[in-house]
């Protein structure tokens, strides 16, 4: 054959075979070069038009569940306090139930080791979003405060409400998400794994969001030096208003005295119907002690009741002609024969059988108080008997333990506790079987109850999301910050670009390289790749609106960002992200 024989090159024959066109050995003409780039159908996901329909259905499901919350909030029946209450209830109860049921049933020791890749991807995503937002802020010419706001919008994406709903919906609609390494993989297990991945990302984001984001990026205006003069002027204005109101009040009081004097009206303090004439003449010398009193009554077991008893004894002494002179506890010995005066908050023990419970609670409280005092005294004596170096070491260990406990208690939240319990249950196979084996008593009672509560989490999240989008908690236009009116539109555009556009363009090749070449098995899981892509272009986190309300940081712009990202751009963004994720999964194979 000659030099122009197109039957010889193997690469061309393979290309045509991959493109779906048969190779004719008798033909001396080469096929069109565009045949090589012809789109071939993938077995892992449906065609593009069908994929668009499925993703649109998943997004529309989220919209339909969120719409009632939006409507109710616009009608004025779902204000900020109710939204906060339901959001806190979801975080405290329903979301931990969802985390426990999904994680404890799916985790094992091997998966726990493989999840170590998630913090690495999270750090890379955060770094990329931070650099992108800083560059965008420089291009728009923002000051330090506005740049920090754009950085917060770009770095902290939503890893809770919207991605969880999309993952659950996509796991039931897309049929190419089953993992071939898991025998008998089904849609429910795909959704459970997706929630597991999202929960790890979410807790990492919570840690950074409420530390760096709350205290630095979305700090109040008063923390910035360039706004110091403005804050001082506002403070002077408030002080002048307070001084003026105080002067007016004083003038009114003086005027009232003049009227009383000229009109020969004598001012009398209104008497209480429950007080006698002697009690009306009694003027207390100071504030009644609430706690920390050293005196204790023989009738009471704690310091607070002792202080109340002592104050009442002073009043009785005043009524009996001693002028209320009760200096110390020794002076009360002669008054202990007085009838006991109960505190208004103290419950009187009935003389019947119903009073047994009241007397028993008092006995338990008194016994607990005495036991704690005995243990404290004994421990102090033992500690004082130890050598001085041992005491120093014990003090250091005690202080370190206290700091660790305070940090863990402040850091931990109900979702984290649920994740920790789920990890413990999943780490013990017998315990995992006890909770999730079909037919077991724990499965039919405790686990079923937790699963029922878990089913409320996602709908409640979306209803609160719709209420947040109603923007009924924002300040009015007259109360808005003048600076916010000037740069509001630019902040909106910069925030959307920094969160939903540029990070996706940069992270997509990085995630593709990870899925192709990093030897970690969960990178082969299609739902994990979809989760990573959804998080790269997800809208800004809803908790940022709460932080902005607390610190009074660009509240109006924050509401516009939520509306634009969750209503206008969510459908095309989700469609593009899911298509890119499926293409990466197919390419990585």
Nearest to 480 by CA among 552, 561, 564: 552
C-alpha–C-alpha distance, residues 82 and 295, integer Å: 45
Tokens of 211: 């530390």
- The pLDDT score that the predictor gives to residue 495 is 95
C-alpha–C-alpha distance, residues 496 and 153, integer Å: 8
- pLDDT by residue (tens digit) across 417-467? 888 898 889 888 889 999 998 888 999 999 999 999 988 888 888 888 888
Nearest to 120 by CA among 574, 539, 510, 407: 510
- The pLDDT score that the predictor gives to residue 312 is 59
- pLDDT by residue (tens digit) across 576-588? 998 899 889 888 8
C-alpha–C-alpha distance, residues 589 and 518, integer Å: 13
Q: What is the DSSP string of 14-65?
A: HHHHHHT----TT--SPPPGGGTTPPPPPSSS--HHHHHHHHHHHHHHHHHH
When the pLDDT of each residue in the chain is averaged and rounded to a whole number, the result is: 75
- The pLDDT score that the predictor gives to residue 210 is 79
Tokens of 159: 């890893």
**Spans of the chain, pLDDT less than 70:** 1-46, 228-355, 411, 471-480
Tokens of 401: 């333990």
- The pLDDT score that the predictor gives to residue 163 is 86
Residue position matching structure tokens 């002048």:
240
C-alpha–C-alpha distance, residues 153 and 557, integer Å: 11
In whole angstroms, how far apart are CA 420 and each of 74, 200, 425?
A: 39, 11, 9
- The pLDDT score that the predictor gives to residue 72 is 92
Tokens of 429: 């196979």
Beta partners for residue 540, in sequence order: 157
């Amino acid at each position: 054959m000659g030099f122009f024989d197109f039957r010889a090159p193997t690469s061309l024959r393979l290309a045509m075979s991959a493109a779906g066109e048969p190779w004719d050995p008798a033909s001396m003409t080469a096929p069109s070069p565009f045949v090589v780039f012809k789109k071939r159908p993938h077995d892992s996901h449906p065609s593009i038009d069908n994929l668009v329909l499925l993703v649109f259905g998943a997004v529309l499901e989220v919209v339909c569940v969120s719409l009632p919350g939006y409507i109710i909030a616009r009608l004025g029946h779902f204000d900020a306090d109710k939204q906060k209450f339901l959001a806190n209830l979801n975080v405290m109860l329903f979301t931990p139930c969802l985390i426990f049921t999904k994680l404890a049933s799916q985790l094992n020791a091997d998966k726990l080791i493989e999840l170590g890749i998630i913090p690495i991807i999270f750090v890379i995503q955060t770094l990329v979003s931070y650099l992108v937002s800083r560059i965008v802020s420089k291009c728009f010419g923002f000051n330090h405060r506005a740049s920090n706001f754009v950085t917060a919008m770009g770095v902290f994406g939503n890893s809770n409400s919207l991605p969880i709903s999309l993952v659950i919906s996509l796991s039931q609609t897309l049929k190419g998400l089953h993992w071939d390494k898991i025998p008998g993989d089904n849609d429910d297990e795909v959704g459970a794994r997706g929630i597991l991945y999202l929960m790890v990302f979410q807790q990492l984001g919570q840690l950074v969001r409420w530390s760096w984001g709350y205290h630095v990026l979305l700090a109040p205006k008063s923390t910035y030096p360039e706004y110091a003069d403005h804050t001082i002027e506002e403070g002077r204005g408030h002080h002048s208003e307070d001084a003026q109101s105080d002067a007016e009040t004083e003038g009114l009081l003086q005027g009232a005295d003049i009227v009383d004097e000229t009109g020969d009206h004598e001012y009398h303090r209104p008497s209480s119907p429950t007080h006698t004439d002697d009690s009306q003449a009694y003027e207390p010398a100071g504030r009644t002690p609430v706690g920390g009193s050293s005196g204790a009554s023989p009738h009471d077991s704690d310091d607070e009741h002792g202080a109340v008893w002592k104050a009442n004894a002073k009043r009785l002494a005043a009524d009996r002609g001693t002028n209320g002179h009760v200096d110390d506890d020794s002076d009360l010995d002669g008054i202990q024969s007085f009838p006991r005066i109960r505190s208004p908050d103290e419950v009187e023990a009935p003389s019947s059988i119903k009073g047994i419970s009241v007397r028993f609670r008092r006995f338990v409280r008194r016994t607990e108080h005495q036991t704690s005092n005995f243990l404290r005294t004994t421990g102090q004596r033992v500690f004082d008997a130890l050598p001085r170096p041992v005491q120093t070491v014990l003090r250091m260990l005690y202080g370190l333990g206290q700091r660790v406990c305070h940090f863990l208690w402040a850091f931990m939240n109900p979702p984290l506790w649920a994740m920790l319990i789920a990890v413990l249950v999943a780490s013990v196979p017998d315990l995992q079987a006890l909770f999730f084996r079909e037919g077991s008593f724990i499965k039919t009672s405790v686990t079923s109850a937790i699963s029922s509560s878990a089913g409320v989490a996602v709908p409640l999240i979306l209803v609160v999301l719709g209420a947040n989008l109603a923007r009924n908690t924002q300040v009015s236009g007259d109360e808005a910050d003048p600076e916010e009116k000037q740069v509001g539109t630019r902040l909106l555009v910069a925030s959307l670009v920094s969160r939903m556009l540029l990070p996706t363009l940069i992270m997509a090749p990085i995630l593709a390289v990870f899925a192709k070449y990093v030897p970690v098995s969960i990178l082969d899981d299609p739902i994990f790749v979809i989760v990573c892509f959804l998080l790269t272009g997800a809208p800004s986190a809803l908790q940022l609106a709460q932080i902005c309300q607390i610190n009074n940081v660009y509240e109006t712009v924050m509401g516009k960002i939520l509306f634009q990202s969750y209503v206008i751009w969510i459908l095309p963004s989700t469609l593009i992200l899911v298509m890119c994720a499926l293409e990466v999964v197919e390419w990585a194979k």
